[in-house]
Amino acid sequence: MTDLATEAGPAGRSARSGSAEGEETGPVLAADGRPLKQSLRRALRAEKLRALALIAPLLIFILVTFIAPIADMLFRSVENEIVSETLPRTTVALEQWDHTSGEMPGDDVLAAFTYDLVAAAERKQHTRLGTRLNYEMTGISSLFRKTGRRVDDFGEVYLDQFVALTPAWEEPATWMSLMAEPGWSAQYEEWLADRAAAEEADRDFETPQPLFEVKDGVADVLPETADAYGEFARIAQVENDDNPAAEEPWAPVYLALYRDLAQATPDSVATLGADAQALLEPARAAVAGFDTVPLSEMFVDAEEDWADPDVWATIQAFAPDYTAGYFLASVDLQKTPDGVSAQPEDQRIYMLLFKRTLFMSLVIMGSCVLLGYPIAYLLSNLPLRTSNLLLILVLLPFWTSLLVRTSAWKVLLQQQGVINDVLVWIGLVADDGRLVMINNQFGTIVAMTHILLPFMILPLYSVMKTIPPSYVRAAKSLGATNWTAFWRVYFPQSVPGIGAGCILVFILSIGYYITPELVGGTTGTFISNRIAYHISSSLNWGLAAALGTILLAVVLILYWAYDKLVGIDNVSLG
């Protein structure tokens, strides 16, 4: 039997080995006949999709109400497209101007600015642009507002001379035949007829009108005129709902025609056809003898501050679509044509406000720890019925309006208030030496400590309630004093509650603005008050967004530092 077993052993082992190898190399199948790995992947993918569907409403809510506003704020802090969108020709022309020359830009820049400004005034956009640039240089807003009312007269001297030369220049039909693409004219007439029929039939008419198109070749011979008249025609159509074929062009269009014809040649005019040549050639020959008025004189007559090169340098400096100017202003710097420089000393307020906000938030946080820890300790060690009753008193401020609580502190802290009256009554303070406790940092700290104290007590109480009393009794039974048992055994277990309370109180206090606005005066306001001012009063949303972004970055940095020093895992809400 031994020999048979020996002889059969290798063969048997070989057969079993082959069978085992076959099992290892062949795919493991699931019950449905598919490979097991593929079935597992499908099952996991289905579970992930199901989980995603469950959290999708919350995810969408967070994206819409939290992520999107923050992204919009970040974009507004660098966005500056209003200058280039409102003054597209001027921003290009100013690229070649040297702001160190000490003189106004030349006629090419002023002409481009004239066309831009008259279009912006017709669209009612020049005041918004003036407001934006006024953040960088005081007084520019009034420049744009006053000049916007007069810019449509720039070029009247040329209008009168063209009309005196050929009265047809005053007729809208003359401009249409010279400038309009014949295909557009036919489409526009058809559109007008369809709209009139719809109005007569009292039915809705939603077909968009075809926008004005300049005739091919005109822009090659009369570039400024084609550009200015095309702008005029499209504004007449869209903004004014008028027929450009029935409207006389702006006076600046005649300025553009004069400038183009002064540089045109007979050969270039001839390329526009016989009809256009018969109209333009006499004008081209006559413009050399026209009476002229320098554009710089027109602007200075409208508002003498246009002669200041710094005005044009400011427009040049803020022409790009994106700017760091808001962030620079947030740290008391300013962007100038010559680079970055410090703000005037009497305008450096934001770094002071950032430092004050951080300092007072830390003081409020510390005050809440000192006041909240004993209260939470007492609540956690009293019988349940008593602690629940006292906990209602802690929560009572949440049932009172924030505005009411802050106003109450104004009554308590003012010089003729309750606290000063009590101090005078008991003789601690003289009647003529009442304490100033309102409209300063002290008033803000007191009021905000009272408002935020529950946010410190609740995390502390919830953590302390989970600490077994037997730990302290065991320490005492081993010979520890009351203080040693508390400090070495009880306090370390309450640190997570302290961490949670500190984060809640600090983040809430650093963004508060109602209470500091009411009781802080000039020395107790936070950076958030300035952000609220720029959003609601000055409407400088870019600067408000930059200040908010910096505040967000400071909070994230402090959160990161806290995580490194203490560990966010040690924070607990119980």
Kindly report the backbone phi and psi dihedral angles of residue 339, in degrees, each rounded to the nearest multiple of 5, phi listed first. Answer: 125, -160
CA dist list (Å): 80 to 76, 305, 443: 8, 24, 39
Domains of the chain by residue range:
85-152+295-323, 156-289, 350-570
Kindly report the backbone phi and psi dihedral angles of residue 497, in degrees, each rounded to the nearest multiple of 5, phi listed first. Answer: -70, -40
Burial of residue 506 (number of CB atoms within 10 Å: 0-12, 13-18, 19+): buried
Task: Give the ranges where 166-263 is alpha helix by DSSP (H).
Answer: 172-179, 182-200, 218-221, 223-238, 251-263
Look over the chain and give the mean of its residue pLDDT values, rounded to a whole number.
87
What string of pLDDT tens digits covers the 574 residues of the chain? 444 444 444 444 444 444 444 445 566 776 667 777 777 888 788 888 888 888 889 889 988 888 898 888 889 899 999 999 999 999 999 998 988 888 899 999 999 999 999 999 999 999 999 999 999 888 999 999 999 999 989 999 999 999 999 999 999 999 999 999 988 888 888 888 888 888 888 888 888 888 999 999 999 999 999 999 999 999 999 888 888 888 899 999 999 999 999 999 999 999 988 988 999 999 999 999 999 999 999 999 999 999 999 999 999 999 999 999 999 999 999 888 888 888 888 888 999 999 999 999 999 999 999 999 999 999 998 888 888 888 888 888 888 888 888 888 988 988 888 898 889 999 888 888 888 888 899 999 999 999 999 999 999 998 998 899 899 899 989 888 999 999 999 999 998 889 889 988 999 999 888 899 989 888 888 999 999 999 888 889 999 999 999 998 988 888 888 777 766 665 555 4
Candidates 1.10.3720.10, 1.10.40.30, 3.40.50.300, 3.40.50.11810; CATH matching 350-570: 1.10.3720.10
Burial of residue 567 (number of CB atoms within 10 Å: 0-12, 13-18, 19+): exposed
CB 534 within 8 A of CB 544: yes
d(CA 561, CA 555): 10
Beta bridge partners of residue 335, listed in sequence order: 340
Both tokens of 505, joined, read 């109180």
Neighbours of 519 (CB within 10 A): 27
> Concatenated DSSP letters for 515-531?
HHHHH-TTTS--HHHHH
Both tokens of 566, joined, read 């203490």
Among 315, 270, 297, 289, residue whose Cα is nearest residue 126: 315
Q: Which pLDDT score, from 0 to 100, does residue 3 have?
A: 47
Condensed to tens digits (0 to 9), the pLDDT of residues 484-536 reads 999 999 999 998 889 889 988 999 999 888 899 989 888 888 999 999 999 88
Both tokens of 208, joined, read 């968009």
Both tokens of 221, joined, read 């011979």
Q: Is the dihedral of CA 107, 108, 111, 117 positive or negative?
A: negative
